[in-house]
Structure 1
Amino acid sequence: MHIVTTDGLVLNLSDTGPRDGRVVIFANSLGTDLRVWDALLPHLPAGLRIIRYDKRGHGLSDAGAGPGTMERLVSDAEEICAALALSDVTFVGLSIGGLIGQGLAARRPDLVRALVLMDTAAKIGTPEMWQTRIDAVRAGGIAPIAAAILERWFAPAFREGRPDDFALWRNMLVRTPAEGYAAACEAIAGADLTESTRGLALPVLAMAGDADGSTPPDLVRATAALCGADFHLVATAGHLPCVEQPAAVAALITPFLERTAR
């Protein structure tokens, strides 16, 4: 366990692998913590320096006060890089983590070497849709809406064929602090990165689970087209393909790392 302090908040992160290895930063999705990457890591090449972190309001990280903004979340990622003296990073972002990655790559092209966008987009949903979810979470917590979220997260084969694992992911979701979850929703609601993502000049890989109900494949494909990214479908996966199909995800990321090596 490692700690970085930014904007008066304590952020929890994991820093593993050789100090001189290629740096790959993983940013998790809404309602999950850094454990969302656990199944993927064993399938990745040896020798990487792997940074995973709980974004504010999730996992063991502080939530902070005030409305959530994408600018703050991007600044948190930037501060983590500064605190660990990281440079030339490859950023892998899932869902809201992909928005953070797009924002960081646009703000700091000197810092980000390559970008992997997983089940994300330059703009996700509408402000009205997110406000409905924010109001529901602040009124009654996450549990009453968990079933609908989980149906979008996981393909039927996972929900029905791995009930014990599915129960653990439900636990992770509903135990996310309600205010941290709501603030992250606010950040997504206010984020439209279409123009800055269109201007990205770094290598980008994009992928989506073929059964994703949160960021459907066509939405991810359209964002890939904005920045000239290769786009891939991950079969039999929902919104969290790194959980359902880790070997298939690694089979896409590994050659991308090889192509973007220096």
Structure 2
Amino acid sequence: MQSFFTAGDTRLHYRTDGERGNPCLVLSNSLGTDLSMWDAQADALASDFFVVRYDTRGHGQSASGGAPFGIERLGQDVVALLDHLDVAQAAFCGISMGGLTGQWLGIHQPRRLTHLVLANTAARIGAADAWLARAVQVRREGMGGVAGGAAARWFTPAFITAEAATVARMIAALREQDADGYAACCAALAQTDLRAQLAAIALPTLVIAGEHDPVTTVDDARWLQGQVAGAQLASVPASHLSNVEAAPAFTARLRAFLLA
């Protein structure tokens, strides 16, 4: 297991694929998942990139650090990871919560990025009250209730039927997710609203939408594109976890953008 200690001696888990001499690509996971959600992209892109993926704090094998945190801390974790790996600049691709981390980086740490890919995300995801209620729920009852409804939020019915083993594996991992770490990220999402700051992003940016995503919609993606000068927009036939459900199309869009 590869890991390092960031602010407050919080251990973060990461994995690298590909040659260090290649351009670096950082992949950031969604709420309730871990770095394994990027397996298809890492396998396909490791020949062209030094692929770095990590478990967001409070997820997978990364600790949460105990104290409350916000989107700034999630962004600073990426900076700390790049510093740990002695990487001056990287392309960044984040999905959902990872996309919010990417937006924060694009606003506050643009010198560390070469490209920015924002997938299935928005500058403000959901309502604060709903996130805080979910945090209370999982701390009180565990992850069972959240896991029970996750498949319908993450994937289309057709994918759930056709790829039952993949769905079952990801839901099982969600059930095993640390409730306190998940709740801490819910609290961070509750307070994150980057809508007024997006125009500051001046990086080459690609926004990817899932055509059937009920959580962060195609309209959300169009709005993001409109706020970032020169941003490109792509859609893939998928719901919220589009890099899993439409892996070949997602990876092709990502590769084309990064190698253009």
**So what's the TM-score if we normalise by structure 2?**
0.95
Which of 212, 234, 237 is residue 236 of structure 2 equivalent to? 234
**Which amino acid in the other structure matches residue 4 of structure 2?**
V
Q: Which residue in the other structure is 1:84 paired with?
A: 85
Q: SS in structure 2 opposite 1:67?
A: coil
Secondary structure, in 3 states, of the residue corresponding to 2:256?
helix
* Corresponding residue number in structure 1 for 2:115: 114
Give, as a single letter, the amino acid of the residue that structure 2 aligns with 1:21: N
**Partner Cα separation in structure 2 for residue 257 and residue 80 of structure 1:** 21
Deviations 1:191-238 (A, max 9, x none): 111122221111100111112122122112211211132111111x11
Is 2:243–2:250's contact at 8 Å kept on the other side of the alignment? yes
Deviating 4+ runs (over 4 angstroms): none
CA distance in 1, matches of 2:45, 2:17: 13
Contact 2:45 2:51 in 1 (8 A): no
Letter in 1 for 2:5: T
Q: Deviations over 1:85-135 (max 9, x none)?
A: 112210000111011111112111111111000101111111111112111
Q: Provide the residue aligned with 1:171 in structure 2.
A: 172
Give the Å deviation of 1:136: 1.2
Identity of paired residues, percent?
Answer: 36
**Residue 162 of structure 2 corresponds to which residue in structure 1?**
161
Aligned runs of 1:67-82 on 2, under 5 Å?
67-82=68-83
Extract unaligned runs of 5+ from structure 2. none
CA contact (8 A) 1:106 1:196 kept: yes
Moved more, 156-165 or 73-82: 156-165
Q: Which residue of 2 aligns with 1:13?
A: 14
Q: Give the TM-score of the pair, scaled to structure 1.
A: 0.95
What is the aligned partner in structure 2 of residue 23 from structure 1? 24
Deviations 1:59-90 (A, max 9, x none): 11111112231111111111111111112210
Give yes or no for contact 1:68–1:185 (8 Å, CA) kept in 2: no
Contact 1:115 1:204 in 2 (8 A): yes
